[in-house]
Amino acid sequence: MDRLINDFQVSCKNCNLDKICLPRGLSKNEIDDLSIVVRTNSVLQKGESIYRQGDDFKSIVAIKSGSAKLVTNDGQGNEHILNVLLPGELIGFDGMYKNHYTCSAIALEVISYCELPVSHFDELCQKIPGINRELFKHSSETINTIHSQVVCSNYTAEEKLAKFLINLSDRLKARGFSADEFNLPLTRQEMGEHLGMTLETVSRMLKSFQEKRMICVDRKYIQIKDQQSLRNIFNDSNSE
Amino acid sequence: MDRLINDFQVSCKNCNLDKICLPRGLSKNEIDDLSIVVRTNSVLQKGESIYRQGDDFKSIVAIKSGSAKLVTNDGQGNEHILNVLLPGELIGFDGMYKNHYTCSAIALEVISYCELPVSHFDELCQKIPGINRELFKHSSETINTIHSQVVCSNYTAEEKLAKFLINLSDRLKARGFSADEFNLPLTRQEMGEHLGMTLETVSRMLKSFQEKRMICVDRKYIQIKDQQSLRNIFNDSNSE
DNA sequence: CGTATTATTGACTCCATTCAAAGATAGTGG
DNA sequence: CCACTATCTTTGAATGGAGTCAATAATACG
């Protein structure tokens, strides 16, 4: 029975996220080497955490299925959601600096994830230059993601929310999901904590988009009816 | 003459930033290897750029002396100052993801800087595991720096500015400068672009701190008179 | 010395927050 | 299955912090 499961076990070589996740830039041989040390098939329930702020850095993590949130606590109980994580996204680079994570990764639904343990990290980087370079690229991607969040922080509430919806739509599309029809992984409260506004403002803005026939909202279920108008909200406004 | 200059040339081995910059976690031998490939002694005038948004990724850069700003343009002429850079700080990791820089690094005064060229990057990472790990740590530090900026983005103008001044003070102190007496490297306009507020608000807040006897302001010259009260502004407010 | 840049200050406006209440939905246990 | 509770969401009214607009002042620079 154990054997049977192992035979069917997903590893990097037969993972469908190979165009998004760590293997994306790697050759077949490199992926084989990677597969040996990556731990797969960890499953968490909603609300459980992959790691918590302050934990010792133990691995670079890739979301395999489901969604998660990256949360940080600024010492005074003030929570901020740094990012929403979708399948194929790598997290944990923040933990390398001082060898402990500076934010918590919490499941927003049932998730599965894979890990590249720190115990094999250096070894793998030395052995396979391609993986080393790819890890740097993912770390760099993380930096770019946060940079764009910093830039968005002085957008208006309307611009922020439009950007959030389009960004989510684009990322879902890249993973083979519908770009125009999806469930929000966050509550209004959490969207507020992510975008820097109150939950009331989130609610009002969603309603406003609906009144403008850009989206249809039913609680967490969103249908995007007019992608372009939504994009124009944050593209037009600052131009000329 | 050329020989003479070379003999006195600063390299990582005899740099006084060895406790902050890339060499900070390295052994003597590792620093020797690093010194061979690091290009030093580049000098720029105020307003000139180390690299510009969109340029091909060519190196990881360390500020050697002076200060610089990291600026990004969100496509619609909207500028945001992502960070102020002091000696010993590494930049350029943002360029690794897509092989071009996503922000510009611009001198705020006469600066000098050093470069680890991409042509030697992989080779060095393979040859010296310690340098590879240290580069990841610096990339991770960059992530943590931006994370904390994201968190600060929903602070009030007063909290943001207090945090900015204390952060600058701490970083100057770590580099051997006075913690309580320094020149702001940015104009009011630039501070606004960095912190997400208008220049008028920056001006008003500085005045307000001065009226509360926390600082003395004379244009760009700042004296911090009461570090603790300034810290309490962003520590107290969200507590209990 | 004159011009450009940078900084200060005031008055008014507005976007988003706060406070408050009610409505909707999901989950639980009797 | 329904009542009950907790959680989440919507909506309204009032408030306030920071932006905008505008004018003046101070400083740097050629």
- Write out pLDDT tens, residues A135-170: 999 999 999 999 999 999 999 999 999 999 999 999
Which nucleotide C1' is nearest B201 CA? D18
Determine contact, residues B230/B215, Cβ cutoff 8 Å.
yes
Res. B239: pLDDT tops 70: no
Determine contact, residues B64/B116, Cβ cutoff 8 Å.
no
Res. B1: pLDDT tops 90: no
- pLDDT, residue A79, reads 87
**φ, ψ dihedrals at B105, nearest 5°:** -110, 115
Contacts of B102 (CB under 8 A, 6+ apart): A144, A147, B53, B72, B94, B95
* More confident: A66 or A25: A66
Q: In whole angstroms, what separates CA A2 from the centre of its chain? A: 32
- pLDDT, residue A204, reads 97
Alpha-carbon distances, residue B97 vs A135, A200, B41, B55, B194 (angstroms): 10, 37, 27, 13, 24
Give the confidence band of B82 by pLDDT, cuts at 50, 70, 90. very high
Q: What is the mean pLDDT of residues B170-187?
A: 96
Determine contact, residues A146/B146, Cβ cutoff 8 Å.
yes
Contact assignment for A129 to B132 by CB distance below 8 Å: no
Lowest mean pLDDT among A6-15, A59-68, B41-50, B198-207: A6-15
Answer for A130: CB within 7 Å of strand C.
no
Among the partner-chain residues A76, A102, A129, the one whose CB lies closest to the CB of B235 is A76
Interval B7-53: pLDDT, tens: 456 789 889 999 999 999 899 999 999 999 999 989 999 999 999 99
| CA proximity to B190, closest of B83, B92, B73 | B83
Mean pLDDT of chain A, nearest integer: 92
Contact assignment for A144 to B102 by CB distance below 8 Å: yes
Answer for B200: CB within 7 Å of strand C.
yes
Among the partner-chain residues B137, B146, B237, the one whose CB lies closest to the CB of A150 is B146
If interface means Cβ-Cβ distance under 8 Å, which residues of chain B face chain A?
72, 74-78, 80, 82, 93-97, 102-103, 122, 125-126, 129, 132-133, 135-137, 139-144, 146-151, 153-154, 196, 235, 237-239
Distance CA A224, CA B51 (A): 39
How far, in Å, is the CA of B160 from the C1' of nucleotide C8? 20
Give the confidence band of B4 by pLDDT, cuts at 50, 70, 90. very low
Name the CA dihedral angle for B173, B62, B42, B195, rounded to a multiple of 10 degrees: -70
**Nearest residue to nucleotide C24 when comparing alpha carbons to its C1'?**
A219
CA distance A94 to chain B (A): 5
Among the partner-chain residues B126, B135, B147, the one whose CB lies closest to the CB of A146 is B147
Tell me the β-bridge partners of B61: B91, B115
Determine contact, residues A106/A66, Cβ cutoff 8 Å.
no
How far, in Å, is the CA of A159 from the C1' of nucleotide D27? 38
**First-last CA distance in chain A:** 65
Q: In whole angstroms, what separates CA B54 from the centre of its chain? A: 20
Res. A229: pLDDT tops 60: yes
CB B38: neighbour CB atoms within 10 A? Answer: 25
Distance CA B210, CA B232 (A): 15
- pLDDT, residue B168, reads 98
Res. B236: pLDDT tops 80: no
Best residue in A126, A150, A152, A195 for a mutation probing chain B (most B CBs within 10 Å): A150
Q: Residue B175 burial (CB < 10 Å; 0-12/13-18/19+)?
A: middle
| Strand C, nucleotides covered by protein (CB < 7 Å) | 6-11, 15-20, 25-26
B217: three-class secondary structure by DSSP:
strand
Distance CA A13, CA A29 (A): 9
- pLDDT, residue A9, reads 64
Res. B131: pLDDT tops 90: yes
Most distant CA atoms of chain A, gap in Å: 65
H helical segments located in chain A: 2-8, 28-37, 118-127, 129-152, 157-174, 188-195, 199-211, 227-236
- pLDDT, residue A66, reads 95
Which nucleotide C1' is nearest A187 CA? D8
CA distance B40 to chain A (A): 24
B83: three-class secondary structure by DSSP:
strand
H helical segments located in chain B: 2-8, 28-37, 118-127, 129-152, 157-174, 188-195, 199-211, 227-236
Alpha-carbon distances, residue B75 vs A141, A227, A236, B194 (angstroms): 18, 19, 10, 17
Q: What is the mean pLDDT of residues A30-50?
A: 93
| CA proximity to B116, closest of B174, B50, B55, B46 | B50
**φ, ψ dihedrals at B114, nearest 5°:** -120, 155
- pLDDT, residue B10, reads 72
B77: three-class secondary structure by DSSP:
coil
Res. B172: pLDDT tops 60: yes
Determine contact, residues B56/B46, Cβ cutoff 8 Å.
no
pTM to 2 decimals? 0.94
Structure tokens at A28: 């077949």
Helix (H) or strand (E) holding A85: strand A79-85
Among the partner-chain residues A132, A143, A153, the one whose CB lies closest to the CB of B143 is A143
Contact assignment for B132 to A133 by CB distance below 8 Å: no
Chain B partners of A132 at a C-beta cutoff of 8 Å?
Answer: 122, 125-126, 132
